[in-house]
């Protein structure tokens, strides 16, 4: 039925005089596979096939996992008891099955409309850290032309906005596959928000997504509602939406125009191959989701204040020896890491890489068996910019510019990223996510140019919150 539907629909779309206006096809909206449960008959049937295909038999699985299950049903029954081996296998099955369904949809669209880009609108801010959601961004990227997502950037949390959720999850996606982000549900104003939202918030929310890999934004929500609508529907999600905020519309437009004008420079931030990485571990996301997320969030946030762009290096990439230019790999919040990834880590170290492990990481394999690393590691530095910078620079070259902030909290809250521009210069992105201004001095011998405002730039200045800077630095 789905095959026939897609063939008929896209046959008509392809012949439409407006076909050229199609940007891409979103295969699914906020997909989750919560219907895949250990007690669901269809899931039980398909899991049995999965286990047999992967291991050949339950006996082989028992040997590999150090378990003693009588059959596949016994494995399923153990999921609800939080048996690590059962939990890992079932939720790995769920993620792979859900990705396979989307792969089928992508294939059908490509057959019906060759050359049409596809993506899925995964709730990347939550689903990868919820085992029962069945969503792995890396698996979804395999058949996608854009890294699709639904993401948000709100005024709340530790900083003036929770920018780090957006930045971290974008990095997870572009590290898995280096294609740009299509955030087709760009939440930058909370639903039912009736208070003023600053134009700077809107501009920063969009512009900084371009820095972290986005090329496509469709903002939620553009809805023309009047006073009568509001009176009748006092709790509706559309209340206070951006359509009703002329200043925010102007800021949104300006961010897009600046993004297009500066696209060659912005692209350099995504194309740069980082030398510092954080382990992306689906194993940890299944078995220790809460702790894993908290740890990588704290680490990624602190790394964003160092000037270095951190990427994610996945268990699968390690298994396949796809290290990129990574020279220092941080492992945080990952008590459980797969044996295949550990073999990749050993090879990474043999080739000169360093692994910095945070406490309580690398203790067990994917099936919950104790497994200390059989390769050299070092303790991860405290998740603070100065300590991390010192650890990074034991292997990675210092940046040509140092950020000096005249404040007791130092560089905390100042998003700072430098990448080469490919012409002998450097591109520098700065944003102050603190609630108050900071006096900044950029220390480095050379000339500065403000790319957003198209004028010369003095490297000692006051950086107010939510005013992104995109600068070019030409060393002497």
The DSSP H or E segment spanning 101 is: helix 84-112
Mean pLDDT across 405-429: 98
Question: Is residue 21 exposed (0-12), middle (13-18) or buried (19+ Cβ within 10 Å)?
Answer: exposed
Q: Show the tokens assigned to 74.
A: 């016994």
Q: What is the pTM of this model?
A: 0.97
Q: How far apart are CA 391 and CA 393, in angstroms?
A: 6
What is the pairing mode between strands 276-280 and 328-331?
Answer: parallel
pLDDT of residue 342: 99
Which of 104, 59, 64, 70 lies closest to 88, judged by CA?
64
Mean pLDDT across 414-438: 99
Q: How many residues does the chain have?
A: 476
Could you report the per-residue pLDDT of 269-278, keeping only the tens digit for each?
999 999 999 9
pLDDT of residue 92: 99
pLDDT of residue 263: 99
The DSSP H or E segment spanning 287 is: helix 282-287
Class of domain 402-475 as given by CATH: mainly beta
Strand order across the 214-220 sheet: 147-152, 181-187, 214-220
Q: How far apart are CA 428 and CA 417, in angstroms?
A: 6
**In the chain, where the domains are located:** 146-271, 276-392, 402-475
Predicted confidence band of residue 134 (pLDDT cuts 50, 70, 90): very high
Could you report the per-residue pLDDT of 353-397, keeping only the tens digit for each?
999 999 999 999 999 999 999 999 999 999 999 999 999 999 999
Q: How far apart are CA 183 and CA 146, in angstroms?
A: 9
Could you report the per-residue pLDDT of 36-72, keeping only the tens digit for each?
999 999 999 999 999 999 999 999 999 999 999 999 9
Which DSSP string corresponds to 211-280?
HTTEEEEEEE------HHHHHH-TT-TTTT-GGG-HHHHHHHHHHHHHHHHTHHHHHHHHHS--SEEEEE
**276-392 has CATH 3.40.50.2000 classification:** no
Predicted confidence band of residue 290 (pLDDT cuts 50, 70, 90): very high
25-61 burial, b if ≥16 CB within 10 A, otherwise e? bbbbeebbbeebbbeeeebbeebbebbeeebeebeeb
Place of tokens 């219907």: 35
pLDDT above 90 for 227: no
Task: Supply angle C-alpha 4, 33, 278, rounded to 5.
Answer: 120
In 82-130, at which residue ranges do the beta strands (DSSP E only) sit?
118-121
Predicted confidence band of residue 447 (pLDDT cuts 50, 70, 90): very high
Q: How far apart are CA 297 and CA 304, in angstroms?
A: 11
Q: How far apart are CA 240 and CA 195, in angstroms?
A: 8
């Amino acid at each position: 039925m789905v095959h026939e539907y897609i063939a008929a629909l896209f046959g008509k779309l392809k012949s439409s005089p407006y076909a050229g206006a199609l940007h891409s096809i979103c295969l699914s909206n906020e997909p989750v596979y919560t219907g895949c449960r250990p007690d669901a008959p269809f899931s039980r049937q398909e899991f049995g096939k999965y286990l047999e295909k992967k291991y050949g038999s339950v006996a082989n699985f028992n040997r590999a996992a150090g378990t003693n299950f009588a059959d596949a049903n016994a494995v399923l029954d153990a999921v609800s008891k939080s048996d690590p081996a059962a939990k890992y296998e079932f939720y790995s099955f769920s993620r792979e099955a859900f990705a396979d369904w989307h792969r089928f949809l992508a294939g059908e669209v490509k057959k019906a409309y060759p050359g049409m880009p596809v993506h899925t609108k995964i709730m990347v801010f939550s689903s990868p850290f919820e085992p029962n959601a069945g969503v792995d961004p890396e698996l979804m990227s395999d058949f996608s032309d854009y890294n699709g997502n639904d993401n948000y950037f709100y005024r709340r949390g530790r900083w003036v906005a929770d920018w780090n959720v957006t930045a971290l999850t974008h990095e997870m996606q572009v590290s898995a596959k280096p294609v740009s982000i299509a955030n087709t549900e760009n939440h930058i104003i909370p639903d039912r928000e009736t208070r003023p939202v600053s134009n700077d918030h809107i501009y920063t929310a969009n512009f900084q997504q371009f820095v972290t890999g986005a090329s496509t934004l469709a903002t939620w929500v553009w809805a023309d509602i009047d006073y009568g609508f509001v009176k009748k529907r006092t709790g509706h999600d559309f209340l206070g939406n951006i359509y009703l905020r002329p200043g925010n519309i102007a800021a949104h437009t300006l961010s897009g125009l600046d993004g297009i004008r500066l696209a060659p420079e912005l692209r350099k931030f995504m194309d740069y191959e980082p030398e510092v990485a954080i382990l992306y571990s689906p194993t940890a996301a299944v078995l220790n989701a809460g702790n894993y997320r908290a740890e990588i969030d704290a680490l990624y946030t602190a790394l964003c204040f160092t000037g270095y762009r951190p990427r994610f290096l996945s268990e699968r990439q390690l298994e396949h020896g796809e290290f990129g230019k990574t020279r220092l790999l941080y492992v945080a919040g990952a008590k459980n890491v797969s044996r295949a990834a550990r073999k990749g880590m050993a090879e990474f170290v043999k080739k000169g890489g360093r692994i910095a492990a945070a406490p309580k990481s690398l203790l067990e394999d994917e099936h919950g068996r104790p497994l200390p690393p059989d390769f050299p590691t070092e303790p991860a530095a405290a998740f603070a910019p100065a300590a991390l910078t010192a650890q990074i620079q034991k292997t990675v070259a210092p940046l040509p510019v140092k950020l000096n902030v005249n404040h007791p909290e130092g560089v905390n809250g100042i998003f700072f990223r430098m990448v080469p521009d490919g012409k002998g210069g450097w591109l520098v992105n700065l944003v102050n996510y603190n609630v108050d201004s900071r006096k900044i001095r950029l220390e480095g011998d050379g000339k500065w140019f403000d790319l957003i405002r198209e004028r010369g730039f003095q490297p000692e200045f006051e950086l107010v919150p939510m005013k992104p800077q995109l600068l070019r630095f030409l060393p002497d």
